[in-house]
Amino acid sequence: MQHFLPHVARDSNAGAGPRTLPVAIALLSAVTVTGCGSQAGGGESRTETDTAGPPVTTEAIAAAEQVIGLEFTEAERRQMLEPAALFSGLEERRAAYARIRREDIGNDVPPALIFRPHPPAVPVERGDPDWPAPPSVDPPEELESLAFASVRELGALLRAGHVTSVELTRMYLDRLRRHDSVLHAVVTLTEDLALEQARRADRELRNGTDRGPLHGIPYGLKDLFSVPDYPTTWGATPYRDQVLDETATVASRLEEAGAVLVAKTTLGALAWGDVWFGGRTRNPWNTEQGSGGSSAGSAATVSAGLVPFAIGTETLGSILSPSTRTGVTGLRPSFGRVSRHGGMFVSWSMDKVGPICRRALDCALVFDAIRGPDGEDPTLVDRPFPFEAAESLEGRRIGYVQASFERDYDGREADRRVLDVLRELGAEMVPIELPDRPVESLAFILAAEAATAHDSLTRTDLDSTLVRQQAAAWPNVYRTARFVPAVEYLQANQVRWLLGRDMRQLMTDLDAYVAPTSGGPTLLLTNLTGHPSVAVPNGFDDGESPRSITFVGTMYGEADLLEIVSVYQDATGWDERHPPEFTPADADSADRR
């Protein structure tokens, strides 16, 4: 699944200022933990260990052996220190590492090995989406009653002339200002840009120019993506004043679709959790609680009715986790479906971009606008999205991870009811077992890539400025990843290839499968293989805390996946409940779909 791709579409740094995060893939060395390199945002470098440092000794090699779980003889250790022409000895190799670190290579530059999860042969599929008819709408008595309206309903109101994009934009900006003191979900309001985009949308709609379902609809963008003239902070102190002179592809695609950017939403520092340099982003259902994974602000603002939809990213749960916590619907598309250009990288082979909405149908509308190759992200594929609205699940084969539903856990009965509903809707439910591979043992793939993406933070000691410093946080993950041997990294990716093959075989006769959101191997497994997933509300714990179920689709099968989830939502209505503290008294809680 890792392939060497020597070609590039074009220089993705054109027009952008230099970035200073070296990108050489982390190699083992207990003797090369630190080294020379450019600095990110100032700070003092850690102790240098290039050729000016103490010599590499057989004792140092023996110490490193304890880390990697191998044992060499004393003669073999001495041989490792001898010059070996092109491949050199360890002393010369350490100097080579130092020279590589002096290269000015940015976070947005991928390694030459690119993750390609799709099979060589892709079957012919249906064509473009077939959207349902627009809903019937009436003028709102109070504009704020539309706070929780669906994207489709807002679009119908705009086209009927019952509201304007400027009115919607001002309403959502006002709600963002009023409620963010509680939620801490916004890094920057983009008011000037939003009003400019909204005025243009109103002019175009009046003149008969319709850019599609998102035309004139406000939205939030995770502050991992760059937009000119506004900070792109990555949620982290070293970058809180960073302004990048480029527009991320996902933002430009949404602008082309006529959407209106009202806010850059919070993310945990460098996409870890919900704690950023401004505090902790809160769950609208329980403001004593954080809102979950790193797309924290995107999920919280959608949940609280502060935007109709938002953009998130996921490497390991950062769309699905906050969607679960805040009771919204989050789509993590297949790897390679949506461009990461203009965004901060955590893991080149695992990062994915997707919409967070209140309904699966809205996720489909947003996904259709942002998907597809852009000439910038070399991992992208061109596949159709043949979404068709359905009323039943007749003819659908949906798997369920039988062992997961049989174990004892909180919420098991709610999850089992999902299986009953799917059967009642006509689906054939098929018990399945997930591949028997050491999935959890592959997690260091993410760690090695993340440590590479933010290498200079470790080498300049700026990792000490991040808000989390415990073992389960980026600084420690970055440091421990320096000890991942290159051979083991590549072998892990070989096992990952086998895992992807197993999943393709498993899903051959399935349209999707369903699994509990909490616990089990599904989250890490599908992030490694690149399969699309949706977290969808399926009830409340103790009547107050949202919970979700996870649907997983086939590779590039977002259309079937969202069709299934949409039918499930129509039959259950969990998406119609909203956090009381943020719901206007006259809000229409049931959208017209």
Catalytic center residues: 222, 294, 318
Q: How far apart are CA 300 and CA 305, in angstroms?
A: 9
The 10 Å Cβ neighbour count of residue 508 is 8
Cα–Cα distance measured from residue 260 to residue 192, given in angstroms and rounded to the nearest whole number: 11
Please tell me whether residue 158 adopts helix, strand or coil conformation.
helix
DSSP state of 580: G
Residue 453 DSSP class? H
DSSP 8-class letter at 300: H
Spell out where 213-327 has E strands: 218-222, 260-265, 275-276, 279-280, 282-283, 286-290, 310-314
Instruction: Round to whole Å and give the CA distance between 220 and 172.
Output: 10
Query: In this structure, are residues 568 and 561 in contact, taking their beta carbons and an 8 Å threshold?
Result: no
Q: What are phi and psi of 539, to 5 degrees?
A: 145, -170
DSSP 564-578: HHHHHHHHH-GGG--
Contact 325, 117 (CB under 8 A): no
Q: Look up residue 343 and give its DSSP letter.
A: B
Dihedral (CA of 291, 297, 301, 302) sign: negative
Contact criterion met (CB below 8 Å) for 293 and 250 = no
